[in-house]
Amino acid sequence: MLVLPVRIGETTTITAPNGDTILVLMTEHRTSLDEPLLGFQVPKDYAVLRDRVKERIQTELQRVNLYLVTNRMQQSMVIASYQPDDAVEVYRRRFPYSSDIRISRIETETGNYWYARLTENLLSKRKPPFVIEVGE
């Protein structure tokens, strides 16, 4: 771990191997609470999380599943839920006259497209069950 002394208004730049840059700015130091305030400027596809938020998201990722729900007419939805029955219930609300509903679990391995989409939705504090729109 690199620890640097910084002054208020001073920026530190972190450059990733792919060329992306992250700027860290010391914005203020609250002497009464003895706590520095840091500002981060990162590329859009990066997440800056406090450890407690990261732990909450990781716990939720272990509990939530993604399901592809379709019917005979090929109307499809991707739904995040704890149980398959919850996903079917969300689907029936959207397509109340559907018959022959099929459901399959989508694998959400770290780094894949659906894992990233699920993480984005959980970071925005959405609570399962919810629909993940294609192209959202």
The answer for residues whose C-beta is within 8 angstroms of residue 125's C-beta and 6 or more apart is: none
**Model confidence pLDDT, tens digit, residues 65-102:** 999 999 988 789 999 999 999 999 999 999 998 888 99
What is the C-alpha to C-alpha distance for residues 79 and 92, in angstroms, rounded to an integer?
A: 12
Q: Tell me which residue of 33, 25, 34, 32 sits closest to 7, measured CA to CA.
A: 25
State pTM to two decimals: 0.68
- Residue 136: what pLDDT? 43
Check residue 111 and give its pLDDT.
62
- pLDDT at residue 33 above 80? no
Helix axes 51-63, 113-123, angle to 10 degrees: 120
Task: Count CB atoms within 10 A of the CB of residue 85.
Answer: 10
What confidence category does residue 48 fall into, taking pLDDT thresholds of 50, 70 and 90? confident
